[in-house]
Every structure is written in structure tokens, then in C-alpha cells.
Amino acid sequence: MPQRQPFTTLCQLAARLPRGPQAGGRADLHVHTTYSDGTYTPRQVVELARRCGLSALAVTDHDTLGGITDARAAAPPGLEVVAGVEITAEYRGRELHLLGYFVRLDCPALAAALGRIRRHRVDRFHEMVRRLRACGVELDGEAPAGPEAPQTWGRRHLAEMLVRAGKVGSVREAFARYLKDGGRAEAPKVRLPVAEALALVRGAGGVSAWAHPSGDCTPQTLAELRGWGLNAVEVEYPELKLSRREELRRWAAALGLAVTGGSDCHGPGKREIGLCTISEEELSRLRSG
């Protein structure tokens, strides 16, 4: 995969991340790479995790397990790379992102389901290009292929194409004008029913967690999802108020759910690797399902 950020910039960012005893023994379990919509390669996320003293890192690309082998090959002794994935799912008519951890990379059922989602994402990409054309915005709609192309395509890739083509000034503007939810060129994603996604993670030997649960998450919704096989809930992630973190932790404890957390890093910016973590004890509890 391409290295989109110079290594010197990478090291400068790492210098600002937590170090010392407070970082050791911590795990960032929500990180994206160039295999989906991240701007760091798997090797770069591993280097950032090493530099800020993490003991574990989960690569959780959208609907693909492709970056995990590269990350593990780059990982030094003492840094665990957890096999993860962020699955596009649906619960009660709304999108829900399901994190799968410790999954087998060779599970046929999970691989097939993720492959179907990715193929639909490519179709969606081309549909959004057509919708942009209807808005008077012409682009080359061919999604790049080959070893340097992402395995999972999304709106951010199209937004970056719009910036490179000079149609908008920034990714933010691309979303605001065309690609936001309900926007003029936005097209819906194919989403797995959450019960099916939970079963796939379980069948691959993994444990599941609700990523960045929505504001309408309640003990009742968590209990229903637990009944379908949910193992954990993400309670540490950027920009989440302390009161909400504490509330989610109380609910998880009451329902017998494990907790997880991570930076949701997609590249340089506010969500840098190591920003949000969980402890070794919490990782051990999560591992046990």
C-alpha cells in the first residue's frame, strides 16, 4: 500500500503522543490504515504504536482484514497486533459499526461476507460518481485497482478525488456540498443485519463490540444486542464526554459486557494513535469474550 505521509512527518507526530509509564501496558483497539480509509500504512501505524509505548494495537479497517498481515510483519517484540475489522451493519433500520476482534484471518464465511460488502462499496462509488455528474461535476469514475488501491472504498476516497480534480477546496467541502448523509451525490451503503454480523464474528472465533455507540444507545438496546451475541461496548473514543464514558462503563458492568476503546485513527489530526486506550486488564477481559 502507498505511504501517503512522509516518514519525517510520522516521527514528528509520534513525538507528541503519550510516553512513559502512563502509556505502557495500554491498548489502542480502533485504528484504520490505507487498506480502507486511513492515510497511514500498516507499517506506519505499527511504528506510531511502538513510539508511544503501546503494548497492543488493533487494525480495524472497514470491511477488510487485508492490512493485518502487513502490520504483524512490521510489529516488534512486545507489541501485539490484534486481528480486527469494523463491519458495516444495520440495527433497527440504522447503521451500526461492529468491531470484531481476535478473528481468524482464514474464516471462509467472514471473508465471503466482507467481500460482498466491498463489492457493493465499489458499485456505490460508481453510483456516487454518476450522481455527481448529474450535479454537473465530471470525474473519472474508475476506482484505481492494483496493489496500491484500497481494498474498501468509501466517500472519503471520492472526496479526495474531488479535491485533486479541483472541484472542491477540501474534503470537508466535498462532504458539505455533495457527500454528507442525504447529500446530493450520496448513495446508501449495503449493511449486514447486525445479528448476521455478530454470528460471523463469533464463527470466526472472535469477540464483538459496538463501535462508538450512538447517542440513543440505552441499557435496553445493549441488552438486546447482548442477547444476539454482543460481547463488548466501546467506551473510550475521541470527543466522548467523561460523563458518557462513565455511563457506558456502568451499563457494561451491569450487563456483563466487556469494554473496549481506541483512537479511531484515520491519519494525522485529532485522532492520533494512542489518544484513547484501554488497560491490559480490560484487554484481557475483552479477549475472554
Bridge partners (DSSP) of residue 193 are: 90
Cβ contact 189:125 at 8 Å: no
- The CA distances from residue 91 to 97, 122, 182, 201, 229, in Å, are 9, 23, 19, 16, 13
Dump pLDDT digits (tens) for 175-234: 999 999 999 999 998 999 999 999 999 999 999 999 999 888 999 999 999 999 999 999
Please determine, for residue 270, whether its predicted confidence score (pLDDT) is greater than 90.
no
The verdict on pTM exceeding 0.85 is yes
Same domain (yes/no): 229, 86: yes
Same domain (yes/no): 123, 173: yes
User: CA 209, CA 212: separation in Å to the nearest integer?
Assistant: 9
Same domain (yes/no): 165, 34: no
Residue 63 falls inside a structural domain: yes
Residue 130 falls inside a structural domain: yes
The pLDDT, as a whole number, for residue 149 is 72
The pLDDT, as a whole number, for residue 2 is 40
Same domain (yes/no): 70, 124: no
Residue 186 falls inside a structural domain: no
The residue among 179, 214, 231 that closes a domain is: 179
The pLDDT, as a whole number, for residue 147 is 59
What's the number of domains the chain is made of?
Answer: 2
Same domain (yes/no): 26, 81: yes
Q: What are phi and psi of 100, to 5 degrees?
A: -110, 130
Same domain (yes/no): 164, 37: no
Same domain (yes/no): 96, 119: no
- The CA distances from residue 253 to 202, 235, 246, in Å, are 21, 12, 11
Strand 94-101 versus strand 207-210 pairing type:
antiparallel
Same domain (yes/no): 152, 213: no
Dump pLDDT digits (tens) for 118-158: 999 989 999 999 999 999 999 875 666 655 678 888 888 89
Same domain (yes/no): 91, 19: yes
Region 60-79 average pLDDT: 97
Region 93-102 average pLDDT: 96
Q: Any idea what the CATH number is for the domain that residue 217 is in?
A: 3.20.20.140
- The mean pLDDT value of the chain amounts to 90
Q: For residues 208 and 8, which has the higher predicted lDDT (pLDDT)?
A: 208
The residue among 179, 206, 229 that closes a domain is: 179
The pLDDT, as a whole number, for residue 208 is 98
Residue 184 falls inside a structural domain: no
User: CA 139, CA 268: separation in Å to the nearest integer?
Assistant: 27
SS3 83: strand
Residue 262 falls inside a structural domain: yes
User: CA 85, CA 185: separation in Å to the nearest integer?
Assistant: 27
Domain span at residue 122 reads: 114-179
Count, in order, helices (H) and strands (E) of the chain.
10, 9
Same domain (yes/no): 95, 230: yes
